[in-house]
């Protein structure tokens, strides 16, 4: 594994591990996605799945995809208007 160092104004910052493509940003964003999915699940289950379906106009399957940690749903997130309706 290689490391990435960023030089700003002559000073070296960070010693970030990166994959072969140099994509440490992708790993950070994956963590954000996981965080959002976990909190989406908590929000839906706090409201209740049936009421959440009525409030958002989404099906149970669609709501489940929003918080699924399955790789095929990794890029699916709940729209902001649906989050607002559940809040």
Percent of the chain with pLDDT over 90: 52
User: 60-67 vs 24-47: helix axis angle to the nearest 10?
Assistant: 140
Instruction: Give pLDDT, residue 21.
Output: 46
Structural domain total, the chain: 1
Statement: residue 69 has pLDDT above 70 = yes
Q: What integer pLDDT is reported at residue 2 of this predicted model?
A: 47
Range of the structural domain that residue 24 is part of: 2-86
Up-side HSE of residue 25: CA atoms within 13 Å toward CB?
Answer: 2
Query: pLDDT tens-digit profile of 25-62?
Result: 455 556 778 889 999 999 999 999 999 999 999 999 99
Instruction: Indicate the average pLDDT of the chain.
Output: 79
């Amino acid at each position: 594994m290689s490391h990435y160092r960023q030089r700003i104004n002559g000073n070296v910052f960070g010693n970030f591990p990166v994959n072969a493509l140099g994509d440490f940003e992708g790993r950070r964003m994956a963590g954000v996605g996981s965080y959002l999915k976990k909190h989406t699940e908590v929000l839906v289950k706090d409201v209740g799945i049936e009421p959440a379906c009525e409030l958002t106009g989404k099906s149970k399957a669609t709501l489940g995809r929003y918080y699924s940690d399955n790789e095929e749903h990794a890029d699916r997130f709940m729209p902001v208007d649906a989050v607002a309706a559940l809040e």
